[in-house]
Amino acid sequence: MAAEATTALELRSLVRAGGEIEVSLHEVPVPEPGPDEVLVRIEATPINPSDLGLLFGPADLSTLQATGTAARPVLTARIPERAMATLAGRVGQSLPVGNEGAGTVVKAGASAAAQALLGRKVAIIGGAMYAHYRCIGARQCLPLPADASAADGASCFVNPLTALGMVETMKREGHTALVHTAAAGWPDRS
């Protein structure tokens, strides 16, 4: 990270009271890690269904419009009136997006755990990952093998833990089989 960089970009989603969702880039301060934290330069992030829910929710994507500039695009889409009640808690809140990601630790707090990660490539989970940088607790980092890329580590949590949770629930409830079909999780938006 350049020594002079004090701000970076972060992707955010905002539900407006008028029934629109807005997705845009925001300039945010680059945080300084606390004693048990690290600053990760995000290099890869997946797009999980849960990320899409926060990004666009129940918006009608056929109404999607792009405005802003090439450097700072703004995407806006209408939210059907019947869906606004489910988003009441989000109205007016600009929320950071992205559940998991991976990158290189560029700064570390004073603790031994944080210092041990300095310069390492790590996978992380904790929200706000669609950003240039993410400050996070050292214990929330999964150090990656030296030959692993950020793309290799970016999907270490959501999908594997979902699969593990399904199998463990199946075993706990005494089931002997699990049937999973492709794209079964997508709701019908018609």
Residue 75: CATH number of its domain: 3.90.180.10
Low-confidence residues of the chain: pLDDT under 50: 1-2, 186, 188-190
- pLDDT value, residue 100: 95
Instruction: Tell me, yes or no, whether 164 lies in a domain.
Output: no
Is 61 part of a structural domain of the chain?
Answer: yes
pLDDT tens digits, one per residue of 126-145: 999 999 999 999 999 999 99
Of 64, 62, 60, 81, the C-alpha closest to 23 is 64
- Note whether residue 38 is domain-resident: yes
pTM: 0.84
Which pLDDT tens digit goes with each residue over 9-19?
999 999 999 99
> Closest Cα to residue 43, out of 125, 130, 113?
130
- Any domain includes 187: no
